[in-house]
Amino acid sequence: MLADLHTVRQRLLAGQTRASTEIEHAIDAAQSSRCRHAFLQTDFDAARAAAAAADPERQPLAGLAVSVKDLFDVAGQTSRAGSVVLADAPPARQDAVAVARLRAAGAALIGRTNMTEFAFSGVGVNPHYGTPANAVTTDVPRIPGGSSSGAAVSVATGAAFIGLGSDTGGSIRIPAALHGLVGFKNTARLVPLDGAIPLSFTLDTVCAMTRSVRDAILAHELLAARRVTRSSAPLSNYRLAVTPTLMTDGMDTIVAHTFERTLQALRAAGACIEEIALPALGELAGIQASGGFSAAESYSWHRHLLKDQAAQYDPRVAARIQRGAAMSAADYIELLQARRSWIARMEQALQGFDAVLSPTVPLVAPPLTEVAPGAERDGAFFRINGLLLRNPSVVNMLDGCAISLPCHASGEPPVGLMAWHGAMRDDAILNIALQIENLLQK
């Protein structure tokens, strides 16, 4: 098992390793076959320079490797968002806010990671630059999850300790679940979107993947420029919920078995877990029937590019963006109103609970061959994409926060457990996740 950032930083402080040594390990991993297609651009010399200049006593990231999803601006680099449409765009003049905050904390930016074009799917396929295979499954090449596909591979292989990414409907939590990583989606308003190419102005969230919950807390504190209020309260102090509505539908046998085993372990450790009905979850499909925020808001951003360059888009991405063209201003206003009403009813139903537990996604990573580019596989692609997005996207519509953490046993396919709630419950979710992680690792 790869060491997390906290462990390596302690080794740095104890003089047991050096940042320059650790960055070479990360570079070796980034150049390995397991990272094929994971990076769209690397900058190893700059990463080495950052590691050499780092001060572990003063900088929490201590010159350790961080990867950056291709939709974030890095000064002097072109942000393509996994597309060829933006390949010739001028380089960014300054870092995105999230990148600047990580750099100030001592991050060694090792490279820009691959992603679903314009972040528009949870599968992770990119027909322009290749699709990185799941880094932890070895039987057959399997999907990495998306849209932050390369970010997940970079963290899972040791090429980065933090994979900076975005989450609009699960783009951090899906690849985290499929790789056995931790993916924390904070309340969207807590981290500025400045310097990031948008998918949905309403739902986009800047966040990261890590190897542990404690690393997720550190990454969030740096990105949000705030301190998480920590609690050592045991799981028995929290009131947790599970719901049979929507979130557990269509689970494959591996996910169903792993999720039930995890709940049993939590209950045995004293956790109070109640089953609750959340009928409002069944309304989401109807609320988003016209394409939802992602279609409407991405179309507003892409409409001029599509006029002349539609043929250069991934057809699966273009089709979803084009749905926004049919949405009227009245439709959009009704969508905003429906969401506000839905959030209010959800918050009422969740009152008194500290978190809801569910599978992050209802299936383990499918083989890449099932969803590779090609119209003949579009049916399978959109079916799998819908299943992957279903559970995580609930939290984005709720304007909430959620964490996916691994709950499978060693040697089993990765399965993610998601703990979630509404807006500004971030600290409670992180503290609960720490307790769950400690229990599952015993």
Instruction: Provide CB contacts within 8 A for 140, sequence distance 6+.
Output: 367, 368, 369
The torsion region of residue 145 among left (phi > 0), alpha (psi -120 to 50) and beta comes to: left
Q: Can you give the pLDDT at residue 442?
A: 82
Does residue 393 have a cis bond before it (omega within 30 degrees)?
A: no
Count Cβ neighbours within 10 Å for each residue of 265-301 and write b for 16 or more, e otherwise.
ebeebebebeeeebebbeebeebbebbbbbbbbbbbb
Q: Which helix (H) or strand (E) holds 150?
A: helix 149-157
Alpha carbon of 355 to those of 9, 111, 158, 430: distances in Å?
31, 35, 31, 10
Rounded Cα distance between 162 and 211, Å, is 8
Q: Which residue spans within 72-210 are E strands per DSSP?
A: 108-113, 162-166, 182-185, 206-210
Residues 14 and 9: their CA atoms lie apart, in Å, by 9
**pTM of the entire predicted model:** 0.98
Q: State how far the alpha carbon of 161 is from the alpha carbons of 211, 217, 314, in Å.
A: 7, 13, 30
pLDDT at 1: 86
Q: Hunting for tokens 């799998």 — which residue is that?
A: 384
* Centroid of chain to Cα 442: 26
Residues of the chain falling short of pLDDT 70: none
291 phi, psi to nearest 5 deg: 120, -20
User: Where are the chain's structural domains?
Assistant: 5-224, 236-280+339-440
8 Å CB contact between 152 and 27: no
Residue 290's pLDDT is 85
Q: Rounded CA gap, 89 and 31, in Å?
A: 26
Residue owning tokens 């959030």: 343
Radius of gyration of the chain (CA): 20
Handedness of CA 382, 421, 431, 165 (dihedral sign): positive
- State residue 188's pLDDT score: 98
Instruction: Record the tokens describing residue 244, joined without a space.
Output: 């049979």
pLDDT at residue 332 in the model = 96
Helix (H) or strand (E) holding 96, with range, is: none
- Alpha-carbon gap, residue 189 to 169, rounded angstroms: 15
Cα of 176 vs its chain's centroid, Å:
6
Contact 75, 93 (CB under 8 A): yes
β 39-42/108-113 pair status: antiparallel
Q: What is the pLDDT of residue 350?
A: 98
- Sheet strands (E) in 18-88: 39-42, 65-69
Tens of pLDDT along 242-299? Answer: 999 999 999 999 999 999 999 999 999 999 999 999 999 999 999 999 889 999 999 9
Q: Which CATH superfamily groups domain 5-224?
A: Amidase signature (AS) domain (3.90.1300.10)
